[in-house]
Structure 1
Amino acid sequence: MGGRSTDRRPASQRDRATDRLMDLPPLVRNPRYALLDVFRGVACLMVVVHHAGFALLAGESPKGGGGPLATAGWAYNAVLRRLDLGVPLFFVISGYCIAASVDATRRRGSSSARFVARRLWRIYPPYWAALGWFLLVTIGLQRLGLERLLCCHSPYGLELILPQKLNAWQWFGNVTLTESWRHLIGGGPREIFTRVAWSLCYEEQFYFLCFLMLVLCSRRLYEAMGGLTLAIVLVRVAAADVGMIHRLDGTFVDLWHQFAVGLAVYWRLNVPSGERARRAVELMLVGLAAVGFTARIPNQPVAHSTGVTALFGLALIVLRDRDDRIVGWRWIAPLKAIGRRSYSVYLYHLPVTTVGTFGLYELGITGFWPRALITVPVVSLAAVGISCGFFWMVERHFLNPPIVGPSTAEGERRPPLAGESAPSASGA
């Protein structure tokens, strides 16, 4: 009684039985991809250093003429400006993990409500805490007469947005993670208070579409993913061709193709298929990379991100069979640890980098190389450290949601798949 199953078969046999019940072929391997934690760490560090890099002006190089030192300074600055490519890497990783989560939900016989509950529980409470953190910093420094550490008084840093500048509709969009597209239906221009939550606004739309596919097309999930991707790409191309792409600005149509790279990688690596089908996925990624680097793609917040996500997808395919060996390297461990805390680092770092860059400039670190070699690394390390503190205070409590919807007891004891957190304090 009490909902506990009396099925005594080993878990692997129960999994295969469930798959047969839904006419699902078994996966060719466990889809858990441990190296994704490492890539999460790399991606979030890229974003942190990119924001710290606003201590240097766009195109700035050391004063005093040319020479190798000036060239090195210019190149260093240029690299900092391109580290925003860490965000689209998250889209690919998310695509892979959500594909694994949706697939696991149907294979385990869990309800679609449970899939939604996991996403809501995992995303919103830590994000709302981040909103509180931004409000605390911005209002607190204004009350102390230190608004200059937030914005408006120096070009040497990425400004924060003051809360009093947002209207009620903009606050609604920020609280609900709909602000990227809320402006399409009214309420004033788009204003992302935390500056980083724009990507979460897209992610929530991606999750909703995957939920719909889980509900409506559970038995033909992969076909639905492929068909939806094709339809969205065609809509995007047609809208751009007739000059209407601006009417879709901020919607899933903008960046679904980058998220879909992760979906394609999941299918390529884990779902039984023929050799031609696997090669076709790889060729499509090569083609997407070519288009991404050669064509002008509208409504793309990060330059060259389409090409980079396609190449990243190919890299994930190549590295899959080396996954266990690479994550065992000792020097990889810090990146893996940061990757497990990457959501907190992404959410909470910006006030630290902003106040830090403006503050160190006021303290006299004003030359190009002092800003490049002292300000950027110091505020980056401080931002990661403080953000990891928020992981322990906030995020770790929302890694594993309460059980929602029917789910077997055995299913709860199975090893986690990609996109799922093991029941540990570290979120491993």
Structure 2
Amino acid sequence: MVHRVHERYAMLDGWRGVAALAVVFHHVSHVPVGGPAVMCFFVISGYCITASAEAALRNGMSFWSYMRRRINRIYPPYLFSLLFYISTRIIKLVTTGINDLNRPVIDFIQSATLTQWLTLVVSPATNPIDNPSLFVTAHWSLCYEEQFYLLMGIPLFIATYAQRKNGARDIFKLVWICVALSVVFNLFIDHLSYGLFLEYFAMFGVGCLVYYRLSRLKGNPMRWSIDLLLAMGCIVAMMVTLGSERDWEVTRYDDLMFASGFGLLLIALHRFENWYRRSRASFILGSIGLISYSLYLVHQFNLNIVLAFTDRILPEETPYFVLIGSQIAVHVIVAAAFWFFFERPYLNHGSWVFGKRPVFVLSRSKE
């Protein structure tokens, strides 16, 4: 007989909040911490989507139901953020005469469907943020997220139509295969972005492996093997980076180093989960984590507006760190309003209370 012991992993929401604040801080202060923060998002997404796909298999959910939930969760807020962006650009056109919307029709179609990555397939760029079809450069990561969701749905699709009962094992195999392919792909092509999932799957894969390490694998040898793999990921990525001739240029192996290190940190800090849940930081960071998707969606195209607002209400002698903190606070307030009206209605968890979000469940089986 199998008994399941459930643990709530609230730290994931807290780390999501930290990562979202880091991205905003990157854009308002120009301190380059946004890249590592996005890698943290990828790791967290890898963890959460793997947990979601496994739960869907256990509950007999079909591939189409799984994708409906993903689309319902991601697309409505994203489309509303595009409308928000267009409205701000219209205001900018009226007030300054600068037309940021004078773009090809195909850019609007790709942005509406989150298929901007197709542009890079034809015309690769050094960095995915250099994709000319992006309206908001911060949205580049969503294209990879979309492909990751589709990929993780493949075992569900197979289980639905082939009546296979070992779908969870298929997910585990798929993760290992794609991580290996991603590492090899980036070993040879780390200087160009083609918009394909293999470029960043290793970072998502870290989150997948952390999920299995903390919740599904039984026996210390299996868990320690993942710890060793992540440690090796840090070391190998560092060696590749140090051996690169592109001084000070961030490569995807730098990203893999950050992702692997963050994965090890999640594993190490899991033992402090109960203490964290009782702390005030759990409420504060969890609340920011709750609105992190909205914050990520809308902050970048409001940077100048928020800067002008804080410059107007704050005295000229305001210390720099107070000015930066004030801008971040305004971005959080705007994102909270956006979350309430345009993201909250589409969440898959029913009623949500600010700061009391249901957190991710780790289930560990014991015979």
- TM-score of the pair, normalised by structure 2: 0.82
Alpha-carbon offset, residue 222 of structure 1: 4.9
Contact 2:190 2:251 in 1 (8 A): no
Alpha-carbon offset, residue 332 of structure 1: 3.2
Q: Distance in 1 between matches of 2:225 and 2:318?
A: 50
Contact 2:12 2:44 in 1 (8 A): yes
Contact 2:190 2:252 in 1 (8 A): no
Q: Distance in 2 between matches of 1:422 and 1:380?
A: 29
Deviation larger for 181-190 or 312-321: 181-190
Q: Distance in 2 between matches of 1:219 and 1:190?
A: 44
In structure 2, the partner of 1:228 is: 174
Is residue 34 of structure 1 aligned with residue 7 of structure 2? no
Alpha-carbon offset, residue 327 of structure 1: 1.9
- Residue aligned with 1:30, SS: strand
In structure 1, the partner of 2:153 is: 211
- Residue aligned with 1:163, SS: coil
In structure 2, the partner of 1:200 is: 142
Alpha-carbon offset, residue 190 of structure 1: 3.6
For 1:318, the aligned partner's letter is A
Q: Distance in 1 between matches of 2:51 and 2:183?
A: 28
State which structure, 1 or 2, has the greater radius of gyration over its C-alpha atoms: 1
2:104 aligned residue (148, 167, 170): 167
In structure 1, the partner of 2:218 is: 273
In structure 2, the partner of 1:131 is: 82
Contact 2:17 2:290 in 1 (8 A): yes
In structure 1, the partner of 2:331 is: 383
In structure 2, the partner of 1:291 is: 236
Contact 1:27 1:270 in 2 (8 A): no
RMSD: 3.2
User: CA distance change for structure 1 residues 219 and 370 in 2, over 3 Å: closer, same or farther?
Assistant: farther
For 2:337, the aligned partner's letter is G
Write the mapping of 1:66-145 to structure 2, written as runs, cut at 5 A.
80-145=31-96
Q: Distance in 1 between matches of 2:59 and 2:177?
A: 29
Q: Distance in 2 between matches of 1:125 and 1:346?
A: 14
Q: Distance in 2 between matches of 1:115 and 1:294?
A: 39
User: CA distance change for structure 1 residues 358 and 210 in 2, over 3 Å: closer, same or farther?
Assistant: same
For 2:48, the aligned partner's letter is C
For 1:204, the aligned partner's letter is E
Is residue 397 of structure 1 aligned with residue 334 of structure 2? no
Q: Distance in 2 between matches of 1:202 and 1:329?
A: 34
Q: Distance in 1 between matches of 2:93 and 2:290?
A: 33
Is residue 423 of structure 1 aligned with residue 351 of structure 2? yes
Contact 2:23 2:33 in 1 (8 A): no
In structure 2, the partner of 1:321 is: 271
User: CA distance change for structure 1 residues 275 and 180 in 2, over 3 Å: closer, same or farther?
Assistant: same
Contact 1:40 1:342 in 2 (8 A): yes
For 1:162, the aligned partner's letter is D
1:180 aligned residue (117, 126, 137): 117
Alpha-carbon offset, residue 357 of structure 1: 3.1
- Residue aligned with 1:98, SS: helix
Alpha-carbon offset, residue 139 of structure 1: 1.6
Contact 1:44 1:86 in 2 (8 A): yes
Alpha-carbon offset, residue 371 of structure 1: 7.3
Alignment deviations for residues 184-222 of structure 1 (CA, whole Å, 9 cap, x no partner): 247996431122111111101000000012222564445
Alpha-carbon offset, residue 290 of structure 1: 1.3
Q: Distance in 1 between matches of 2:188 and 2:26?
A: 35
Contact 2:119 2:133 in 1 (8 A): no
Aligned-pair identity in percent equals: 28
For 2:211, the aligned partner's letter is Y
In structure 1, the partner of 2:362 is: none
Q: Distance in 1 between matches of 2:206 and 2:184?
A: 21
Alpha-carbon offset, residue 377 of structure 1: 1.6
Q: Distance in 1 between matches of 2:123 and 2:261?
A: 37
Q: Distance in 1 between matches of 2:122 and 2:229?
A: 35
Contact 1:360 1:375 in 2 (8 A): yes
Is residue 345 of structure 1 aligned with residue 291 of structure 2? no
Deviation larger for 254-263 or 167-176: 167-176
Deviation larger for 209-218 or 384-393: 209-218
Q: Distance in 2 between matches of 1:288 and 1:124?
A: 33
For 1:282, the aligned partner's letter is D
Deviation larger for 182-191 or 33-42: 182-191
Deviation larger for 166-175 or 126-135: 166-175
Q: Distance in 1 between matches of 2:338 and 2:260?
A: 32
Q: Distance in 2 between matches of 1:393 and 1:120?
A: 18
Is residue 356 of structure 1 aligned with residue 306 of structure 2? yes
Deviation larger for 94-103 or 352-361: 352-361
Alpha-carbon offset, residue 353 of structure 1: 2.3
Alpha-carbon offset, residue 145 of structure 1: 1.9
- Residue aligned with 1:109, SS: coil
